[in-house]
Chains A and B, each alone.
Chain A
Amino acid sequence: MSELLKKDEMKPGGIGQGGSMERRYTGSWRTFVPITDFETCIQCLACWIVCPDSAIPVEDGERRETNMHHCKGCGICAVECPVDAITMVREGEEDDE
């Protein structure tokens, strides 16, 4: 985790800045990693709208690589993808695929 705000940097109410939780690393929670096959993906965004961890970035209407800093490996995206473009692989064994 990155440096916490110092006392005099905080605003009244205690919270430094909205969205600051983004700096926290929750990728270490994963047991399985979602691997996306972009050849198969039809860019329907069904995965994006149901990810609990805001870990599927979308740019110009298309999803990009999963944000591994935040993804907790729940596997919802893989279950919901209508064309099975996402596979869950045990962490550390991604290269064996």
Chain B
Amino acid sequence: MATTSLKKLSDMPELLTGGHAACPGCGGPIIIRQVLLAAQQDGRKVVASISTGCMEVSTTIYPDSAWRVPIFHSAFENSAATISGAEAAYRSLKRQGKYEGEIAFIAFGGDGGTYDIGFQSLSGALERGHNFTYVCYDNEAYMNTGIQRSGATPKGAWTTTAPDGTVEPGKREIKKDLTAIVAAHGVPYCAQASPHRPRDLMRKVQKAVATEGPCFLNILSPCPRGWRHDPDVTIQLCKLAADTCVWPLYEIENGKLSINYKPKEKKPVREWLKSQQRFRHLFAPKNEHLIEEIQAELDAKWGQLLAREAFDNEQEQESE
């Protein structure tokens, strides 16, 4: 049986080695470690693909690989297409009786490779219904190439292509709600997770790899360089993101939404914005109104989630 007990998981092989070149305190390798530890449960082997991004360039420096699983180093736009091909080949081999084991096919991508450039291949793979899990480590910008804005960059954040200055207040546009877009494909399972709750994250991975069909996990991944924070607070920031409802933890299983963490006291978004220098300029008098706007937008989103959860619960009770 799959387990999320840390003691039991610590007996499993570590499938991502040290020696990779991610920056100190990066959220990406923490996420990959937790995903791989959880996915290899119940005798499953892992086959992965990864799109261009921080994790690809830092864990697969020629001729080395930090991955102790077969990994396909794909281009920016086709991590999901690559894993589709691998999964289709596997099904064919199984049908021909040439292979028997269970394999978890996992495609990884950053937010650039998932929200933006790889979106068409992700959408296609979801729609075709391949049996795979897509893991997006969302660090909210193109960090690998020098902190350029992406569709995942939140409103008000500084990036090198959405700078703050006398005219611009950082990025003007809101963050794309990719988890909701994926859910709209009608996939059997999708969720948002965060590495500060490893057991919740790993339970979601286990659910995803054990579910037949395309599954999606969107995981918040702090970036000390791009978010401008000290490397030791990476996990604390994840916690703050959940406590301010900037990054709600929830899952949608066969259309039913459940929120996995509800802060006892929802913290104001100000605390989140204050914790990272990428939001520093928002505290200048001319930008303060943006903080109110951001708070209002977050409150609305959180309200929608709560309402949807309540609605889904009611539906379920009625059908019983």
- Decide if A4 touches B63 in the complex (CB within 8 Å): yes
Q: A86 CB to closest chain B CB, in angstroms?
A: 11
**A61-B7, A76-B232 as given contacts; A52 in contact with B67, CB under 8 Å:** no
Give chain B nearest CB distance to A38 CB in angstroms. Answer: 16
Residues of chain A within 8 A (CB-CB) of B303 are: none
Name the residue of chain B whose CB is nearest to the CB of A78: B232
- Complex CA–CA separation, A89 to B233 (angstroms): 17
Indicate whether A79 sits within 8 Å of B18 (C-beta atoms), given known contacts A45-B6, A48-B10, A73-B24.
no
Residues in A neighbouring B10, C-beta threshold 8 A: 45, 48, 58, 61
| Interface band, chain B | 35 or more
A74 CA to B19 CA, complexed, in Å:
14
B8-20 interface code vs A (CB 8 A; 1 in, 0 out): 0111001011111
Q: Tell me whether B25 and A75 are in contact (CB under 8 A).
A: yes
Say yes or no: A14-B30 contact (C-beta < 8 A), given A73-B24, A76-B234. no
Number of A-B contacts (CB under 8 A): 132
Q: Are A52 and B22 in contact (CB under 8 A)?
A: yes
Tell yes or no: A16 within 8 A of B by CB. yes
- Which residues of chain A in 46-73 are interfacial with respect to chain B, using CB atoms and an 8 Å cutoff? 46, 48-55, 58, 61, 67, 69-73
Q: How far is the CA of A4 from the CA of B62 in the complex (A)?
A: 10
Expressed in whole angstroms, the Cα–Cα distance for A54 and B33 within the complex equals 8
Assess the A21–B62 pair: CB atoms within 8 A.
Answer: no
A19 CA to B14 CA, complexed, in Å: 10
A76 touches B59 (CB 8 A): no
Interface of A, secondary structure class, is loop
Task: Indicate with 1 or 0, residue by residue over B58-81, a CB within 8 angstroms of chain A CB atoms.
Answer: 011111111111110000000000
B198 at the binding interface (Cβ < 8 Å): yes
| Chain A residues closer than 8 Å to B11, beta-carbon distance | 61
CA distance A21 to B70 in the complex (A): 14
Interface residues of A in 1-21 (CB under 8 A from B): 4-5, 10, 14-21
Known contacts A69-B18, A72-B24; decide if A18 and B70 are in contact (CB<8 Å): yes
**A16-B63, A19-B68, A24-B64 known; A53+B18 contact, CB < 8 A:** yes
Contacts of A21 in B (CB 8 A): 17-20, 59, 61, 64-66
Is the CB of B195 closer than 8 A to any CB of chain A?
yes
A51:B30 contact, CB within 8 angstroms: yes
B197 nearest CB across to chain A (Å)? 10
Residues of A contacting B236 in the complex (Cβ-Cβ under 8 angstroms): 79
| Complex Cα gap A24–B306 (Å) | 47
Assess whether B65 is in contact with A19, with CB atoms less than 8 Å apart.
yes
Bound-state Cα–Cα, A54 to B232, Å: 15
Let me know if A54 and B16 touch, CB within 8 A. Answer: yes
Q: Interface residues, chain B, CB within 8 Å of chain A? A: 6-7, 9-11, 14, 16-22, 24-30, 33-34, 59-71, 195-196, 198, 230-236
Sample of 22 A–B contacts (CB below 8 Å)? A5-B63, A14-B62, A14-B63, A19-B65, A21-B59, A21-B66, A22-B66, A24-B20, A24-B21, A29-B24, A45-B7, A52-B22, A52-B25, A52-B26, A52-B33, A54-B16, A55-B18, A70-B19, A74-B24, A75-B25, A75-B230, A76-B232
